[in-house]
Amino acid sequence: MKALLLTNEYPPHIYGGAGVHVEYLSRELAKLMPVEVRCFGDQHSTSGNLSALGFGLDASHYTSPAPLKSVFGALQRCLDFNTTAIDAGVVHCHTWYAHFGGILAKLNYGIPLAITVHSLEPLRPWKREQLGGGYDFTCWLERTALEMADAVVCVSEGTRRDVERLFKIAPERLHIIHNGIDPDEFRPASTHRVLDRFGIDPAKPYALFLGRITRQKGIIHLVNAIKHMDPGFQVVLCAGAPDTPEIAAEMKEAVAEAQRLREGVVWIGEMIDNPSKIELYSHAGVFVCPSIYEPFGIINLEAMACGCAVVASAVGGIPEVVVDGTTGYLVPVEQMSESPFEPLNPEKFSRDLAARTNEVMADPSKRRSFGEAGRKRAAEVFSWAVIAKKTKALYDSLGA
Residue 335, pLDDT score: 73
AA identity, residue 10: Y
Pair 252, 282 in one domain: yes
Beta strands in the chain (DSSP E): 3-7, 35-40, 44-47, 50-55, 90-94, 113-117, 151-154, 174-176, 206-212, 234-240, 265-268, 286-289, 310-313, 328-331
Pair 375, 387 in one domain: no
Residue 62, pLDDT score: 96
Judge whether 187 lies within some domain: no
Pair 301, 356 in one domain: yes
Judge whether 318 lies within some domain: yes
AA identity, residue 366: K
Pair 26, 163 in one domain: yes
Judge whether 55 lies within some domain: yes
Judge whether 51 lies within some domain: yes
Pair 285, 307 in one domain: yes
Q: How many domains does the chain have?
A: 2
Judge whether 341 lies within some domain: yes
Contacts 24+ apart (CB under 8 A), 319-327: 319/158, 320/156, 320/157, 320/158, 320/178, 320/296, 321/296, 321/297, 321/382, 322/297, 322/374, 323/373, 323/377, 326/370, 326/373, 327/370, 327/373, 327/374, 327/377
Residue 15, pLDDT score: 82
Pair 82, 134 in one domain: yes
Pair 91, 203 in one domain: no
Residues 6+ apart with CB under 8 A from 297: 17, 289, 291, 312, 316, 317, 318, 321, 322
Judge whether 35 lies within some domain: yes
Pair 121, 248 in one domain: no
φ/ψ bin of 378: left (φ > 0), alpha (ψ from -120 to 50), beta (otherwise): alpha
Owning domain of residue 285 = 193-381
Burial 253-263 (b: 16+ CB within 10 A, else e): ebbeebbeebe
Pair 117, 203 in one domain: no
Pair 175, 275 in one domain: no
Residue 341, pLDDT score: 63
Whole-angstrom CA distances from 173 to 3, 88, 163 are 18, 21, 11
Give how far the C-alpha of residue 272 lies from the chain's centroid of Cα atoms, to the nearest Å: 15
Question: In angstroms, rounded to a whole number, what is the distance separating the alpha carbons of residues 93 and 142?
Answer: 11
Q: What is the CATH number of the domain that holds 134?
A: 3.40.50.2000
pLDDT in tens, the chain (400 residues): 899 999 999 999 988 889 989 999 999 999 999 999 999 999 999 999 999 999 999 999 999 999 999 999 999 999 999 999 999 999 999 999 999 999 999 999 999 999 999 989 998 888 888 899 999 999 999 999 999 999 999 999 989 999 999 999 999 999 999 999 999 999 999 999 999 999 999 999 999 999 989 888 999 999 999 999 999 999 999 999 888 899 999 999 999 999 999 999 999 998 899 999 999 999 999 999 999 988 888 899 999 999 999 999 999 899 999 999 999 999 999 876 555 567 889 999 999 999 999 999 999 999 999 999 999 999 989 989 989 999 999 999 998 6
Question: In angstroms, rounded to a whole number, what is the distance separating the alpha carbons of residues 227 and 353?
Answer: 11
pTM of the predicted structure, to 2 decimals: 0.81
Pair 104, 237 in one domain: no
State how beta strands 265-268 and 234-240 pair. Answer: parallel
Backbone angles phi, psi at 250, to 5 degrees: -60, -40
Judge whether 186 lies within some domain: no
Q: Which helix (H) or strand (E) covers residue 110, if one does?
A: none
Pair 176, 221 in one domain: no
Question: In angstroms, rounded to a whole number, what is the distance separating the alpha carbons of residues 153 and 383?
Answer: 17
Judge whether 188 lies within some domain: no
Give how far the C-alpha of residue 193 lies from the chain's centroid of Cα atoms, to the nearest Å: 25
Residue 336, pLDDT score: 63
